[in-house]
Structure 1
Amino acid sequence: MDYIKRAIEEVVEHSAKTFKCILVTGARQTGKSTLVKHLYSDIKQVSFDDPFVEEQAKNNPEMFLSLNEPPVFLDEIQYVPSLFRYIKQSSDNSDSKGLFYLSGSQPFKLMELASDSLAGRVAIIELPPLSLREIMKSNYTSPFLPTMEYVQDRNKEAIKPSNIWKIIHRGGYPEMQDPDMDWAMFFSSYVKTYLERDVRELAAVQDLDAFRRFMVACAARTGQMLNYANIADEVGKDANTIKNWISILEASGIVYILEPYANSALKRAIKTPKLYFRDTGLAAYLTRWLTPETLATGAMSGEFFETFVISEILKSYSNRGLDYRYFVSYYRGKDKKKIKKNGAETYEEAEIDFIIEQDGVLYPIEIKQSANALADMTSAFQVLDKIPEKKRGTGAVICMCPMPGSLRENVLQIPYWFI
């Protein structure tokens, strides 16, 4: 299969000119090794997937680095964490940039190791699965923002896919873009490798069958609020174990935990986070939606579409090297408005699927699988007007509408392929 150009290439190349070490991290099979090998085919490459090489590096790290002088690409570096201190020493002995190219499949663990040992020397770059832009071979790189300026700019080359449910069902792992790759076989191998390598490495989980059931239970809840007790009851484990296992999924790039928007002005907000799988293909495999057609018409189609849209928005930021974790959220609570019900005053619950915060402006987003966007879908956006120190920016309904348009003042309808 031909190499698929990655949107993050420019970020990697710029980082290599300004930092001594470049760490490309992300979940398994997102294309980290392929990316680095494509950009730097002329440098030496060493993979710690080879047990013999791993043992050499662990037993005699100084000799290992003397035999593999920079510039060098060290793949699956998470298997030799002790090597980081020696990489630091080697980096400090040189004024050159782009000395060590590192990659690995345990994002949070590697970020922690790199931050502790290589602070100021390393650029940490998270490579997500392929975005819709990359699959459609788009060169557009600006992060998504629901503004008229963004929509006008994106309109120049936005391409609608012929079958979005086929893309959602197959997911964004590069190998799955090969039409000859068997969907079930790929994900079966993926889950097996993930359980036997990453799960045991991160937390020494012994009961892998229970962890597999746990993954299925989480996939069935993508796009929903995270209820630890509910998952614990289904899996037959206690809530603390489930919390620990959720952290494993997050640390290895399998799921994303979307935190609720927090502000003292919103006194009736729900403080429970939401869970999203980072790849819809993996979630579809775990929940046994075997074809794009059954997924599109099934009971979870709305959750899968929301998961896909939020994942695409996050990719538009991470592909520019931006850490989105601190400026995205969602809102759910009873701050919307007072209503009279059975003669008593109560608050009607409101929900905003996604909020992007930028320069003190909150951009609310509603996600609907429908092709028909209605202004009433955005009535909850007014909740954000209660926050005195923030300004509410343009809001949007992201849906399957045929073209962008205005629903009301300051609210747009945006097709999903404009993300």
Structure 2
Amino acid sequence: MYIKRAIEETVLRLSGMFPVLLVTGPRQVGKTTLLQKLMGPERKYVTLDDPDVRYLAKRDPALFMQRYTPPVLIDEIQYATELLSYIKMGADRSGNKGDYWITGSQVFRLMKNVSESLAGRVGIVNLPGLSDAEIYGYGSAPYTTEPERLMKRLGAVKERGLNEIYARIFKGSMPALYAGEADWETYYRSYVDTYLQRDIRDLSQVADEMQFYNFMTAAAAHTSKPVVYEELANAAGVSAPTAKKWLSLLVSSHIVALVQPYSNNILKRAVKMPLLHFLDTGLAAYLLKWGGPEVLERGIMAGAFFESYVFSEIYKSYLNAGKEPPLFYYRDKDQKEIDLLLYQDGTVCPIEIKKAASPGRDAVKNFSVLSPLGTPERFGAMRELKVEIGTGNVICMARDLLPVDGKNWYVPAWLI
């Protein structure tokens, strides 16, 4: 069963803008299925998972390109990056948009070659796991905190309670778990084995797969926490430089996302550590050996998983629209925290994430640290510009969309 993907419009739009379209993302999120659904009958399909085809592509890429003429979909391009320069020549020769569709999972190996060979010729789409909008069949749009947008969603989105939310958190975001009768534990065991054996084993900087598995587990235990490399290293039994290197592999393969802190010359007390979120809460639950949604909801990591779930839904809403997620977080040396900040169009909107059904007005007390405020340091010379403070949200287990005060709103988690 095909689950309609929110990113379909973005894929077709970029295919009409560039001669080459690259769809990347974690393993088994449906990259090939998506493109096969969208491609017309004239487009050829070839996968480099086939050893004979891969041998031809690596040994004689020119002959491969004669055999598989555009329009073509080439699956798992990272296995024969020799093809990229020939794709560049073919794209320059024809001048047609969307001639070459390619997919790749091993982003850490692929992106350097793509940027060198196909600069200016490739549109890149990052396909995440399934979002709530895709699973439950309603419209997807980049998340904003504005109450007008949220009110419009009230009639389109079905209310879900605590047990349903945690069943979704525990199950995760992999299409195979929603399209059939795949056993959860068996699926994730196979997923981890495949990731370790086909992606990680090939990397010279990872000599011990079991140690890397332990590191993945340690990272899952730190979801929704600021990154302290010494802590990760101690938990996994590796050095801090190794932990930093291995975390970059998890980021590159879209297993985790790092949220940068919002800091500038005005907010001098803000910490500089990024915040770690596992993007598939089902994979994190598997790694940490949680036995089911009920025990997860009652367990010590219930709040952390809830935060990562909310973050990943907001994060995916931007990726599916083909946009860079404009997400930061705030934490200072006085331990004042704001879980998420949306920064766009000169406005920063604070978001607090609470598992509680009635968080109370204290949930927004740290929003006051944002005034006065300048732009983030990553914007360089613009950082002295003042920004507006927009509508704040407290995303929680409330039953309804309700105002906290004149500037902030309680938002049910099922509404995001």
TM-score (normalised: structure 2): 0.94
Separation (CA, whole Å) in 2 of partners of 1:73 and 1:173: 22
Alignment of structure 1 residues 288-327 onto 2, 5 Å: 288-324=289-325, 327=326
Partner residue, 2:66: 66
Q: Does the CA-based 8 Å contact 2:44-2:72 persist in structure 1?
A: yes
Separation (CA, whole Å) in 2 of partners of 1:401 and 1:161: 10
Per the alignment, do residues 11 and 289 of structure 1 end up closer, same or farther by CA in structure 2, a change over 3 Å counting? same
Per the alignment, do residues 203 and 259 of structure 1 end up closer, same or farther by CA in structure 2, a change over 3 Å counting? farther
Partner residue, 1:229: 230
Separation (CA, whole Å) in 2 of partners of 1:226 and 1:264: 22
Cα distance, 1:204 vs structure 2:
4.7
Deviations 1:149-188 (A, max 9, x none): 2212322312224611111111011001146211110000
Per the alignment, do residues 417 and 112 of structure 1 end up closer, same or farther by CA in structure 2, a change over 3 Å counting? farther
Deviations 1:82-132 (A, max 9, x none): 211110000000022110010111235433332221122111000000001
AA aligned to 1:377 is A
Which sits farther off after the overlay, 107-116 or 356-365? Answer: 107-116
Q: Does the CA-based 8 Å contact 1:32-1:127 persist in structure 2?
A: yes
Per the alignment, do residues 409 and 289 of structure 1 end up closer, same or farther by CA in structure 2, a change over 3 Å counting? same
AA aligned to 1:30 is V
Deviations 1:11-46 (A, max 9, x none): 111122221111110000110000001111522111
Give aligned pairs, total: 402
SS in structure 2 at match of 1:386: coil
SS in structure 1 at match of 2:223: coil
Partner residue, 2:159: 160
Matched, 1:85 2:85: yes
TM-score (normalised: structure 1): 0.93
AA aligned to 1:126 is N
AA aligned to 1:215 is M
Which sits farther off after the overlay, 116-125 or 293-302? Answer: 116-125
Cα distance, 1:359 vs structure 2:
0.6
What are structure 2's unaligned runs of at least 5 residues?
Answer: 375-385
SS in structure 1 at match of 2:340: strand
Partner residue, 1:28: 27
SS in structure 1 at match of 2:409: strand
What are structure 1's unaligned runs of at least 5 residues?
Answer: 335-347
Cα distance, 1:374 vs structure 2:
1.6
Partner residue, 2:99: 99
Separation (CA, whole Å) in 2 of partners of 1:13 and 1:156: 29
Separation (CA, whole Å) in 2 of partners of 1:330 and 1:357: 10
SS in structure 2 at match of 1:5: coil
Separation (CA, whole Å) in 1 of partners of 2:205 and 2:75: 22
Over the residues paired in the alignment, what is the CA RMSD in angstroms? 1.3
- Residue in structure 1 matching 2:399, options 382, 398, 402: 402
AA aligned to 1:105 is S
Matched, 1:416 2:413: yes
Separation (CA, whole Å) in 2 of partners of 1:302 and 1:41: 45
Partner residue, 2:248: 247
Identical residues among aligned pairs (%): 44
Separation (CA, whole Å) in 1 of partners of 2:357 and 2:103: 41
Separation (CA, whole Å) in 2 of partners of 1:373 and 1:396: 12
Cα distance, 1:202 vs structure 2:
4.0
